Chain A
């Protein structure tokens, strides 16, 4: 197995494209190293992307943010300006493993690992994040909700990699939040995750919203019906009950050791409602 640390995106793409599908991107490595150890992944080439400046930067872009796919979770958590703008994304990032794991793990890796229970993904979807992808055919952009196609599967073609995430300009009176249910408070995998991102007008009426659920289907879901329950309301008890019902109705979960289908469907509604209350409070602070 060969190890390369290209300094440019072009060099990384050339290396990956030349590896005949036997190359793997190494960002934080917190998933990849476990696959290497177990033999589930047997690449011939590891392309360490952490020397590519564009993938390691958090910067203002188009009124919003561009977050490099290889920025570590701890770096993002410690970025106070980003955490103020997108507290819901930071909620999700904070759940990704221990302090040690977050010292290495990245949002790019969390997305590309394509686990249905990835904690940062519903928050990114609710935020309206776009994945910026580069490959031998050039660059393309894709909304995060369309990037994962199933467990462990993404739209990445050979030689492509996720470079960064683009977060849109934040309107005033906006708030987002991500919550998950786990039997333990730390170091666990989501039974259900729910993210809500909303914007209020100057009268406190919800003008726009996005809702995303994790761990209740083969991939994280964008749930427009749940968002529709909030839009045009003051996010009162009636709207929250409709949100919960729509969230539960969108679930297509499996039974596993973490929870039954029935349980996940019920809890998804509860988590969505609670996340909406936190998002509302965060938006309200800006009135």
Chain B
């Protein structure tokens, strides 16, 4: 079977990989590119653990084929920190203990960053609705919402 050749950008780096047509972007990120920060939860687009940005759009990487990434700009959790300096959201998740097992965390960080890029001053309800597609089975969400609101405050300079 012939494999598809895909050229794309991941966190600003040009990358190329080969994939089967049926392979998802999530599988390509983890298995071909060894970027294992993005997690698989359900594999059916319900849990949001595999959230990444594609051309500035928040998507589930399990619901997109790797071949569809041709020419696109992908952003994953590996690109969030600036060297050793964590993104404010990452720091606030640690400060607020907004994670336990950590499987949902990369997807929630990516989703929360996408929210704050659109809406730097969201209400608690807006945070909860935006993150409705990201399931967490550990925290009960409260600490996650607190961390996102606190990060938003800091990023606004307040």
A residues whose Cβ falls under 8 Å from a Cβ of B: 1-3, 5, 26, 28-30, 33-34, 36-37, 46, 48, 50, 72, 74, 97-101, 103-104, 186-187
Contact = CB atoms under 8 A, between A and B. Distances in A.
Dominant secondary structure at the B interface: mixed
Contact of B111 (A26, A74, A100, A101): A100
Interface stretch (B61-69, B78-86, B141-149): B61-69
Given A99-B133, A100-B58, 12 more contacts: A3-B21, A26-B65, A34-B45, A34-B63, A72-B57, A74-B57, A98-B48, A99-B111, A101-B45, A101-B133, A103-B57, A104-B63
A2 B111 contact: no
The 8 A-B residue pairs whose C-beta atoms are closest, nearest first, are: A98-B133, A186-B132, A103-B57, A1-B21, A103-B59, A3-B21, A100-B60, A3-B67
Nearest to B132: A186
Contact of B133 (A1, A3, A100): A100
A99 B59 CA distance: 8
A46 B45 contact: no
A2 B58 contact: no
Nearest to B19: A3
B46 interface: yes
Contacts of B67: 3, 48
Nearest to A38: B44
Interface residues of B, number: 30
A36 B64 CA distance: 12
A104 B59 contact: yes
A26 B144 CA distance: 35
Interface string B116-137: 0000000000000110111000
A241 B134 CA distance: 40
A55 to B, nearest CB: 15
Given A1-B21, A2-B21, A99-B130, A30 B45 contact: yes
A101 B63 contact: yes
B11 interface: no
Contacts of A72: 57
Given A33-B64, A101-B45, A46 B21 contact: yes
B58 to A, nearest CB: 5
Contacts of A26: 65, 68
Interface in B13-64: 20-22, 24, 43-46, 48, 51, 54, 57-60, 62-64
Contacts of B60: 98, 100-101, 104
Given A1-B22, A3-B4, A30-B63, A103 B132 contact: no
B62 A33 contact: yes
Nearest to B52: A100
Contact of B68 (A37, A48, A74, A99): A48
Question: Residue among B21, B22, B63, B114 with the most chain A CB within 10 A?
Answer: B63
B30 to A, nearest CB: 15
Contacts of B132: 98-99, 186-187
B92 to A, nearest CB: 20
B3 to A, nearest CB: 11
B21 A97 contact: no
B24 to A, nearest CB: 7
A119 B151 CA distance: 34
Contacts of A1: 20-22
A2 B68 CA distance: 13
22 contacts: A26-B68, A29-B64, A29-B68, A30-B63, A33-B45, A34-B45, A34-B63, A36-B22, A50-B68, A72-B57, A97-B45, A98-B45, A99-B111, A99-B133, A100-B111, A101-B60, A103-B54, A103-B58, A104-B59, A104-B64, A186-B129, A186-B132
A91 to B, nearest CB: 14
B65 A97 contact: no
A174 B158 CA distance: 44
Contacts of A50: 68
A50 B45 CA distance: 20
A3 to B, nearest CB: 4
A97 B68 contact: no
